[in-house]
Amino acid sequence: MQCPSNNLDAIRCNQLLDVAEQLIDSQGVVSFRFAQIAKGAGCSTNTLYKYFESKEDVLVCLFLRNTTSSQIPTFVRENPDLNIHERAVLSILFTFEVVKRSPIFNILRVVSINSMFWQLASPDKIEVLRNRVNLFWSRIKRPLEEAVEQGELQATQVEIDNLSQALYFFLAGATSSYESRLMEEQYLVNDDETGYRHISCIMNHYQWRQPITREMMQALSIRIREFLDKGHGNIRSCETCLAIGKLSDCKQQDH
């Protein structure tokens, strides 16, 4: 099922996704039914099937239009003074701030990247999802490679791979635990200072010319919050999603 190819289709697609997001807020991911989207949007089921083949397609698209990958490039353009240390932690801190503001994003992330789920989506949606997931990995890994190129980090390719995976695994575990609300404080402390401390430990296990500090991450988080406060975090649309393009195109745009 291909993405919208014109403005009118994009508008209608967004309307359907808005209704689906409202249904998730009120009923949860599991309980809401595919047919409810058409009813909530005041359209026929034929119209719904024009854009989505299944509930899986809808949830994948909701994740894609909420993903932080669509917002980080804008933040980087508006903050051209970011140094390599800030860029190295940007994706992690940015995602934390988005999850705080939009719990539904983390729910969609956990569901959409589960292989038992995404394999039920249509091939075109799967391709976009795969590209987007790998794009986010590149936003973590590429700044580490640039830090090595600039002489700010001494690390082999294997160490870069290990560090990027450690950061991603920490992010995935921390955001999931944060949203679960099940663990008591003796097991999990959900505050920024604890997060900064964990990230510093992961980063500074490797040989940076200057260490990754709590103060730097705190200042960067403030800038991210100000950026999201301006409304950038509310840009959830098919147009924004489509503008990201393929992974190879995004890499070229970022450099």
Return the domain boundaries, the chain.
Answer: 7-60, 67-254
Paired with 207 in beta bridges are 154
pLDDT of residue 182: 66
**Which CATH code for domain 7-60?**
1.10.10.60
CA 177 to chain centre: 16
pLDDT the model gives residue 55: 93
**Which long-range contacts does 72-76 make (Cβ < 8 Å, 24+ apart)?**
72/139, 73/250, 73/253, 73/254, 74/232, 75/224, 75/227, 75/232, 76/254
More confident residue, 130 or 100: 130
Helix (H) or strand (E) holding 187: none
What's the pLDDT band for 111 if we cut at 50, 70, 90?
confident
Helices (H), 54-187: 55-66, 72-78, 84-101, 103-112, 115-118, 123-149, 157-180
Given pLDDT bands bounded at 50, 70 and 90, which one contains residue 173? confident
Question: Quick one: DSSP state of residue 154?
Answer: E
More confident residue, 251 or 172: 172
pLDDT at 209: 96
61 CB neighbour count, 10 Å cutoff: 27
Question: Is the predicted pLDDT of residue 57 greater than 50, yes or no?
Answer: yes
Strand, coil or helix: what is 208? strand
Which residue did the predictor score with more confidence, 40 or 3? 40
Total-model pTM: 0.83
